Amino acid sequence: MQEWTGAKVYAPVGDEHHIAGRYPYCGPARVCGVLESLARGLTNYRPPRVDVWLREGDELPVWGGLRVVALPGHTAGHVGFYSANKRVFFVGDAFAVSWRIALPPAILSTDVPASWRSFAKILDYEATLLVPAHYFGLPTNLVRRVRDRASRLRLSE
């Protein structure tokens, strides 16, 4: 797609090895490494040329400014994008929502404790709308539900 369109590719610092297909998975996450390896073979994956490496605090000129927020855990360089102007936080794979709010499982996380810290970090932002990558439903009360889940996680530590 990059070759077809000439589009710039943006990616977070810390995910260089993920993008290249050479991340050294260990522990339960080795399952993810095997799945990625199979998918690269089936799709004839070629790593893109990254034009812009994103760092925490960078601001993208979209929507009056989308701030890059480091949310490591799912991947080493996982990020979210926060719009202070619109009070919307795109959190990517920091968590998923179906019938419950779930953090990435150990087989899909490079660092489970970092996932928990990133989940708690989301609440440091004045967002009225959270937008995860995996969400099945309406965003009704999602901020309140995330706060409740984060409280329960803190109690179980």
pTM for the structure as a whole: 0.88
CA dihedral for 109, 112, 116, 122, sign (positive or negative): negative
* Domains in the chain: ranges and CATH: 2-43 (no CATH), 55-156 (3.60.15.10)
Residue 15 burial (C-beta neighbours within 10 Å; 0-12, 13-18, 19+): buried
- The pLDDT of residue 85 is 94
- The pLDDT of residue 80 is 97
Summarised one tens digit per residue, pLDDT across range 124-139 is 999 988 999 877 666 6
In DSSP terms, 135 is beta-bridged to: 97
Tell me the CA end-to-end span of the chain in Å, nearest whole number: 44
Helix (H, G, I), strand (E, B) or coil at 99: coil
Summarised one tens digit per residue, pLDDT across range 42-77 is 999 999 999 999 999 999 999 899 999 999 999 999
The residues, ordered by sequence, that sit 6+ positions from 46 with a Cβ below 8 Å of its Cβ are: none
